[in-house]
Chain A
Amino acid sequence: MSFDPGLPSFSGTGLGCIRGGRVVFAGLGFSVAPGEALVLLGPNGSGKSSLLRVMAGLLKPAAGSLAWGDSTIADEPEAHAARTHYVGHHDAVKPVLSVAENLRFWARLHDPHAARAAGAADRALDRFGLAHLRDIPGKMLSAGQKRRTNLARLLAAPSPLWLLDEPTTALDRRSIAELEAVFAEHRAAGGMVVLSTHMDVALPGARELHLDAFAIEEEDGP
């Protein structure tokens, strides 16, 4: 599987974010071209999650804009949703649905061609080592297994842009290595990866964005 080679780049200019009356970052710009990866770095509270939510379209930036090639993303939120996978802090795994049902629902919602989505969902389960858990209800899963179920969405329905907020949380070493391989394949196919992490995830040639560089100094301390 590979994406259209003419995929434009994903970029943001002059982005600012205000949370709870505090300026988290301002004047932030970034650009990700097809096949590239961007790692967001910075201490807790530096706005990594907020920036990913802005990129996904969950949060409106207080300033600046995001662009997909030449088109502004604010003008076409549904098209942006179709080409994006967002993995947040929560795993969105329903306790009473089985692993396969959970995954298939998200896959079909992303790609309504049900048959195609079901095949891709099975392959995604295999890839993340969940095949033997496919009929287990979500409430029986460990934190790491839930996380893998959530990550399996990435492969269950193809999308070029992956936005991942600390995807390695609760994962063991082997799963992290598998995830790194999945990232490498995705980038080789022309996809883009943006992630925030506190752990070292091997992303050869990834660009780094240090968020503390865009922080605004508070005039009066806490």
Chain B
Amino acid sequence: MMRFLEVVRRDLRLALRQGSDSIMVVTFFVLTVVLFPFGIGPESGVLERVSAGVLWVTALLASLLSLDRLFQADYEDGSLELLVLTPASLGVVVVAKVCAHWLTTGLPLLLAAPVLAVLLHMNADGFGVLMLTMLIGTPILSLIGAIGAALVLGARRGGVLLSLLILPLYVPVLIFGVGAIDAAVQARSAEPHLLILTGLLVAALPLAPWAAAAALRQALE
């Protein structure tokens, strides 16, 4: 547990000092969402209809941006070898790194989402559920992303390969995230969607770090 906190603290400190990742992710999120009113016209009815989908698809793409750095920097400077050789299990280290990644990228996305929802004329009934789906969904993105980030270590053009590997796996999160918001806007119960989303998180929490740890060991062989 101490080691877990130590890795989280180090990664947060690194992210704060370098600063670029969080800002880049949120800026990408905001700019891309702002493009939609220009592209499909400012009619509030049309924007409202697509708002949930636009927010979620853009959030997926934004979270992909920073993923290739998740293990890459540690891999390049030799830190990853030492992290693998710590007395803690590698899974714990992976969860700690994913946790720090979510705090620096997922959380800012979550905070920016309601502002952008206003811009897209999203129905006010959907706001609470939007936040809730983001809260449950963005950690899943970081967790699944960690598997991809570990698999592409050492590959050339890793960022592109990562997108190809990971985007298909993001589809369930997208479907149930958007489904929950649409249900809330149409005054239906969002609960089934939210429960499935939570189920995905509960499944990803042990499986993704385990898979990512195996991929990291492979990358260092």
| Contact present for A96 and B18 (CB under 8 Å) | yes
| Contact present for A108 and B2 (CB under 8 Å) | yes
Q: Is A109 close to B, CB under 8 A?
A: yes
Q: Is A56 close to B, CB under 8 A?
A: yes
Please tell me the number of chain A residues within 8 Å of chain B, measured between CB atoms: 28
Task: Tell whether A92 pairs with B77 under 8 Å between CB atoms, given A57-B85, A97-B13.
Answer: yes
Q: Please indicate which of the listed interface residues B76, B84, B87 has the most CB atoms of chain A within 10 Å of its own CB.
A: B87
Q: Is B189 close to A, CB under 8 A?
A: no
The 7 lowest CB-CB distance pairs between A and B, nearest first, are: A90-B78, A112-B2, A82-B87, A96-B17, A92-B78, A92-B79, A81-B87
Number of A-B contacts (CB under 8 A): 68
Name the distance in Å between B53's Cβ and chain A's nearest Cβ: 38
Name the distance in Å between B75's Cβ and chain A's nearest Cβ: 9
| Contact present for B85 and A105 (CB under 8 Å) | no
Please tell me the number of chain B residues within 8 Å of chain A, measured between CB atoms: 24
Selected from B3, B17, B87, B220, the residue in CB contact (under 8 A) with A58 is B220
The residue in chain A whose Cβ has the minimal distance to the Cβ of B13 is A97
Residues of chain A from 179 to 208 with CB closer than 8 A to chain B in the complex: none
Selected from B2, B14, B88, the residue in CB contact (under 8 A) with A78 is B88
Q: A105-B6, A109-B7 are in contact. List 19 more A-B contacts (CB 8 A).
A: A56-B85, A58-B84, A81-B87, A82-B87, A86-B81, A86-B85, A88-B81, A90-B79, A90-B81, A92-B78, A92-B81, A96-B14, A96-B18, A97-B17, A108-B2, A109-B3, A109-B6, A110-B86, A112-B6
The residue in chain B whose Cβ has the minimal distance to the Cβ of A59 is B221
| Contact present for B79 and A109 (CB under 8 Å) | no
Q: What is the bound-complex CA distance between A56 and B17, given in angstroms?
A: 32
Contacts of A105 in B (CB 8 A): 6, 10
The residue in chain B whose Cβ has the minimal distance to the Cβ of A159 is B87
Beta-carbon contacts of A91-113 to B below 8 Å, as 1s and 0s?
11110110001000110111010
Q: Is A89 close to B, CB under 8 A?
A: yes
Q: Is B82 close to A, CB under 8 A?
A: yes
| Contact present for A86 and B18 (CB under 8 Å) | no
A to B CB contacts below 8 Å, 29 in the list: A56-B85, A57-B85, A58-B84, A58-B85, A60-B221, A79-B87, A81-B86, A81-B87, A84-B85, A86-B81, A89-B78, A91-B77, A91-B78, A92-B78, A92-B82, A94-B77, A96-B14, A97-B13, A97-B17, A105-B6, A105-B10, A106-B82, A108-B3, A108-B6, A109-B6, A109-B7, A109-B82, A109-B86, A110-B87
